[in-house]
Structure 1
Amino acid sequence: MVKAELMTGADTGFPYDGAKEHYILDIEHRDKAIEIIETLLPAIPYPKKKKKRD
């Protein structure tokens, strides 16, 4: 999970009605965005291969 320190001062919002509040990643601040994305990469699961149907 992204450490809260990385998102200090970041805006938050709701991506859709009924959703939990999430941080908004400001891609205008490139260096900070890259740091956060690199922190997230190990936590993001790889997509599973789909089995072929006969």
Structure 2
Amino acid sequence: MTKAFCIAFVMTFFSVFDVPVFWPILLCYWIVLFVLTMRRQITHMIKYKYNN
């Protein structure tokens, strides 16, 4: 983790790594991750009867 942090910190000082991000793609990515995670959590809760 420390190595990754140091590499990312050094990369912030070089403009070649400044990649533009299209925000709708990030929004869709977040929604997909949220849905997949919640589906897994809900099936786990149903399996172990948390919803009583």
TM-score between both structures, scaled by the size of structure 1 = 0.26
Asked which structure has the greater CA Rg, the reply is 2
Structure in which a larger fraction of residues adopt helix: 2
Q: Which has the higher contact order (CA 8 A, sep 6+)?
A: 1
Structure in which a larger fraction of residues adopt strand: 1
